[in-house]
């Protein structure tokens, strides 16, 4: 049994049963407690959380955690384990060396749990590295967070996303291969609705890949199997298309509009805005981009943060996902960047914490995650110095 001490980037081995004094705790379920608390656990799960001021007496615990607060473990709602955040094209070449990629992934997975991230949702890769990682963790062969994996994405052949999935020529080919696609195993379905944004041309987005009728049929095929659908979509037209088709979450969503935010609220569609792929390029500058591209990125970032705050004010569901593996978006560390970006948009920090735990668990379709309450496994929690 272990618990993450994310403030010190390490994992603490703990007995299956024990007690200790902590500085306090926070969770969406229980709110904030900023006074000393006696934490007890049994069979690896939280047994009680009682403020010391409410106890008549207590024995001195063997573990000394009195300087730590207890929080639910973080969840990252959008990662790519098969990418390394350093060099996209070199990484794709390295896919021809699967043992190298697997070694990298094992390092990433370990880093996640050391930094208090107990579950991740992977957006897929054509060779299936993330799906294999999910199974290795489930089997106890690799250490790591729980992995929710789309296995591979559904995109149009010859268009953006060839590294994410095999691609389908048209809806007819999808229909012919639909059963085999689902039978290979997926936790969620990811559909690629649009191409990428451009760093040199504000508001320009790669073309749409499906009509609303085609996309609706793909979405319904997943929903009939009780599978949630995440949609890679940016630009007004692409986002509107995905919302109309009834997806469960919009990933990225650059150039979001107020109209689509209102429709998303009505349909309870979540938005995972992944600020880090653009924000971190500015936060950690290099000579990779031209002055014009940097200026364009600044415009995109400013507009994106404004829409995230508007979404918050409109009570749109917001998740926290990094797109880890993208350039300058390292696995695990970037979740802290993403939390800071969401705070920078104007959302109170504890509200962002709720998004990175409770709301992400809803987006994952795994409500047992992102919690701190009696019965929560200790390895789903984290110790932090400050809240």
DSSP per residue, 288-320? SS-HHHHHHHHHHHHHHHHHHHHHHHTT--B--
pLDDT of 192: 98
3-state SS class at 94: helix
Q: How many Å apart are CA 254 and CA 318, to the nearest integer?
A: 14
Q: What is the pTM of this model?
A: 0.97
What is d(CA 283, CA 327) in angstroms, rounded to the nearest whole number? 12
CA distances (Å), origin 21, targets 25, 32, 58, 67, 129: 11, 16, 10, 9, 41
Residue 55 confidence class, pLDDT cut points 50, 70, 90: low
Quote the CA–CA distance of 370 and 10 in Å, as a whole number.
19
Closest CA to 251 of 278, 223, 280, 271: 271
Short-list 21, 106, 133, 27, CA closest to 68: 21
- List Cα–Cα distances, 227 to 120, 184, 210, 362, in angstroms: 17, 14, 20, 13
| CA nearest to 197, candidates 165, 228, 236, 227 | 236
**Cβ of 300: how many Cβ atoms within 10 Å?**
22
Chain segment 233-284, per-residue pLDDT in tens: 999 999 999 999 999 999 999 999 999 999 999 999 999 999 999 999 999 9
Model confidence at 52, in pLDDT bands (50, 70, 90)?
Answer: confident
Q: Per-residue confidence at 64, pLDDT binned at 50, 70, 90?
A: confident
Range 32-42 average pLDDT: 95
**pLDDT for 358:** 98
> pLDDT per residue over 304-324, tens digit each?
999 999 999 999 999 999 999
- Residue 166 pLDDT exceeds 80: yes
* 60 has pLDDT over 70: no
What is the overall mean pLDDT for the chain?
Answer: 96
Question: CA dihedral defined by 287, 291, 295, 298, rounded to 10 degrees?
Answer: 10
Whole-number pLDDT of residue 57: 60
Joined tokens for residue 253? 């969503």
Label the pairing between strands 63-72 and 381-384. Answer: antiparallel
Distance of CA 106 to the CA centre of its chain: 18
Residue with tokens 């199997």: 225
Does residue 346 surpass a pLDDT of 80? yes
Torsion of the alpha carbons at 106, 110, 116 and 122, rounded to the nearest 10? 0
Q: What are phi and psi of 233, to 5 degrees?
A: -155, 135
Kindly report the backbone phi and psi dihedral angles of residue 256, in degrees, each rounded to the nearest multiple of 5, phi listed first. Answer: -65, 150
Percentage of the residues of the chain whose pLDDT score is greater than 70: 98
Query: For the chain, which domains are there?
Result: 2-71+372-384 (2.30.40), 74-364 (3.20.20.140)
Q: Coil, strand, or helix at residue 329?
A: coil
Task: Please give the average per-residue pLDDT across 79-97, as a whole number.
Answer: 97
Tokens of residue 252, six digits? 């990225």
For Cα atoms 308, 145, 74, give the angle at the middle one, nearest 5 degrees: 35
Q: How far apart are CA 275 and CA 240, in angstroms?
A: 20
| Number of other CB atoms surrounding residue 318 within 10 Å | 25
pLDDT confidence of residue 58: 61
Six-digit token pair at 187? Answer: 């936790």
């Amino acid at each position: 049994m272990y618990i993450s001490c994310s403030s010190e980037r390490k994992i603490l081995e703990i007995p299956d049963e024990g007690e200790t004094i902590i500085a306090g705790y926070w969770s969406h379920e229980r709110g904030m407690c900023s006074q000393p608390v006696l934490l007890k656990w049994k069979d690896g799960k939280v047994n009680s959380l009682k403020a010391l001021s409410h106890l008549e007496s207590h024995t001195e615990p063997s573990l000394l955690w009195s300087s730590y607060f207890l929080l639910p473990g973080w969840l990252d709602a959008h990662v790519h384990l098969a990418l390394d955040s350093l060099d996209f094209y070199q990484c794709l070449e390295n896919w021809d060396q699967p043992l190298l990629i697997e070694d990298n992934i094992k390092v990433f997975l370990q880093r996640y749990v050391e930094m208090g991230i107990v579950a991740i949702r992977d957006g897929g890769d054509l060779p299936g590295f993330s799906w294999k990682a999910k199974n290795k963790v489930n089997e106890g062969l690799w250490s790591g967070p729980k992995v929710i994996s789309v296995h591979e994405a559904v995109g149009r052949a010859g268009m953006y996303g060839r590294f994410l999935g095999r691609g389908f020529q048209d809806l007819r080919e999808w229909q012919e291969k639909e059963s085999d696609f689902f039978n290979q195993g997926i936790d969620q379905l990811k559909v690629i609705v649009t191409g990428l944004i451009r760093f040199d041309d504000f508001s320009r987005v790669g073309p749409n890949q499906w009509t609303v009728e085609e996309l609706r049929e793909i979405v319904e095929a997943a929903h009939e199997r009780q599978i949630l659908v995440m949609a890679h979509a940016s630009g007004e037209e692409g986002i509107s298309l995905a919302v109309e088709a009834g997806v469960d979450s919009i990933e990225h969503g650059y150039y979001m509009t107020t109209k689509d935010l209102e429709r998303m609220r009505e349909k309870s569609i979540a938005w995972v805005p992944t600020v880090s792929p653009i924000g971190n390029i500015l936060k950690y500058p290099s000579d990779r981009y031209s002055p014009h591209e940097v200026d364009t990125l600044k415009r995109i970032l400013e507009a994106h943060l404004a829409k995230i705050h508007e979404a918050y004010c409109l009570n749109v569901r917001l998740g926290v996902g990094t797109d880890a593996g993208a350039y300058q978006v390292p696995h695990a560390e970037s979740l802290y960047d993403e939390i800071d970006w969401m705070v920078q948009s104007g959302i109170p920090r504890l509200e962002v914490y709720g998004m990175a735990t409770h709301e992400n668990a809803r987006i994952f379709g795994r409500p047992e995650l992102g919690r701190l309450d009696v019965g929560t496994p200790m390895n789903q929690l984290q110790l932090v110095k400050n809240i």
